[in-house]
Amino acid sequence: MSDHGTMEKEEIFSKVLRAGRRTYFFDVRSTKAGDYYLTITESKKFTNDDGSFHYKKHKIYLYKEDFIEFLDLLKETTDYIIDEKGEEVISERHQKDFKRDDFDASDDDLAEGGESTESSRSADNFTDINFEDI
């Protein structure tokens, strides 16, 4: 039991994808009724000015009844990106000869990951909610 009076959730199956500063965790967990669901966690490392670091985490809970539609939409959107832009990564971080001037001024309003800076600011105000008692 944890300090909150709830049992710690056992990970039934887990996979990890390390991608630069980001790490993605795919974890199968069990509901109180004994059914399985998937959590996808993005953990991103940030370095403070003093050299210390911290992680920001974002979690998605995905239940079996949504798997097929989720996978269909994920495939459709990833196929669209590859069809439109190819598999080559275009960014300052991945290309030494990248020039921002080569892109539209509207791209200046985009944060890492293609989000607008306005939505990125609102993401900083995100409240992490714990659904571990499901």
The model's pTM is 0.59
* Domain harbouring 42, CATH code: 3.10.450.700
Asked if the structure places residue 120 within a domain, the reply is no
Strand stretches in 20-102, DSSP E = 22-30, 36-47, 53-63
1 lies in some domain: no
pLDDT in tens, 99-108: 666 555 444 4
Domain assignment present for residue 97? The answer is no
Instruction: Give the residue among 35, 43, 37, 38 at the shortest CA–CA distance from 17.
Output: 43
pLDDT at site 90:
81
CA distance between the termini of the chain: 15
